[in-house]
Amino acid sequence: MNFKQQALDYHEFPTPGKLSVTSSKPCDTSTDLALAYSPGVAEPVLAIAENPDNVWRYTNKGNLIAVITDGTAILGLGNLGPLASKPVMEGKAVLFKRFADIDVFDIEVNAPSIESFIETVVNIAPTFGGINLEDIAAPHCFVIEKALRERLDIPVFHDDQHGTAVIICAGLINALHVQGKRLQDARIVLLGAGAAGTASLNLLLAMGADLNKVLVVDKAGVLYKGMPNLAAHHEPFAAETSARTLADAMMGADAFIGVSAARLVTPEMIRSMADRPVVFALANPEPEIHPTLAHSARDDLIMATGRSDYPNQVNNVLGFPFIFRGALDARAKRITQGMQIAAVNALCELAREDVPLEVLNAYGLTSLAFGREYILPKPFDPRLRERVAGAVAAAAKSES
């Protein structure tokens, strides 16, 4: 059976979709029924009406996340609409539950405008302990997230921005460390100035990267000061440089981060980079340069992709379940940059520790150690929940 049919069958059988709702309380007797609904349900209703904080005691709000999209940027597939996004949102829900035991309602919104999308989320927000925005195209995603963060008193997190940023930062810091380099000294090229790229760069700068050593490249070329028709959200990243093309930018660079499209980087560009370079080609499913091609151009590089069939996968599942777990545990009203930095540091530290046998068994490996082919923890590492969620919760409490 080919993979396409296997994937379709997985989603169709034995029951369509990947989610179901199960009760967390018994409902087997007449007493159970009376407690679950009428008349017993009136007691928590009255308790919440008297003190809204009681909703955290008597309902699932404190462990319930909404994964919400308008379907305008589904994976690498583009704007296919809210209905087509539902399998992805269900998949996200599965990951939340599997890795952090967080319950999810997936919500696909058919919104004719940014404003209507925002109002929809605001109106349903009382149900949830947090909002995970997903697969929303830039630049609308920036406007939506900002508005919701200002209007809601629960965490709002756009995973395509900040979740990606956390994993990229952790991986890059560790990769540079393996290569004998430091983030603050590194010359960095970022290809792709959309949601993920912008958030990643902002977090890297907050963690010590030098903006004067960064070149950002989009479809029009290198973002430079005085560039015609430069978008307002790109202006802070415009550089004083004579570089105009990606090839120009790559010359002498210590690190490349690609969050763009397939096959935009050539072996010649890789060869022009500094000694011991780091290459993060994260376009999915086809990276900016294939790992085999990159390694054939240089034998001293560290390579990461978004794919699971090569070492050093940059996978958001290392971040968002545990970031939300920590935020919910701390009952945080925001997911702050400080909480994101705490997650980055926890991931960096965990990858440098000895790998437990159960992780090796999960991946069919006999050994694994921090180095050129292991710069980030594996998703099935059971320590992630305690370490990353714990660090996020501690950061949230210290900021409150």
Tokens of 50: 């008297």
Distance CA 91, CA 102 (A): 13
Distance CA 303, CA 375 (A): 10
* Chain centre to alpha carbon of residue 330: 20
Quote the Cα angle for 379-17-98, to 5°.
25
Which of 86, 92, 181, 378 is an active site residue?
A: 92
The runs of H, that is alpha helices, within the chain are 3-12, 30-36, 42-50, 55-58, 82-100, 114-124, 140-151, 164-178, 195-206, 246-250, 267-271, 291-297, 320-329, 337-351, 357-362, 383-384, 390-399
Distance CA 83, CA 96 (A): 21
Distance CA 350, CA 233 (A): 34
Q: Are strands 278-281 and 302-305 parallel, antiparallel or unpaired?
A: parallel
Distance CA 124, CA 159 (A): 19
Question: Measuring CA to CA, which residue among 242, 239, 236 is closest to residue 206?
Answer: 236
Which of 4, 18, 37, 397 is an active site residue?
A: 37
> Is 37 a residue of the active site?
yes
Place of tokens 């935009």: 264
> Is 146 a residue of the active site?
no
| Alpha carbon distances (Å) from 387 to 2, 168, 370 | 38, 18, 17
Catalytic residues: 37, 92
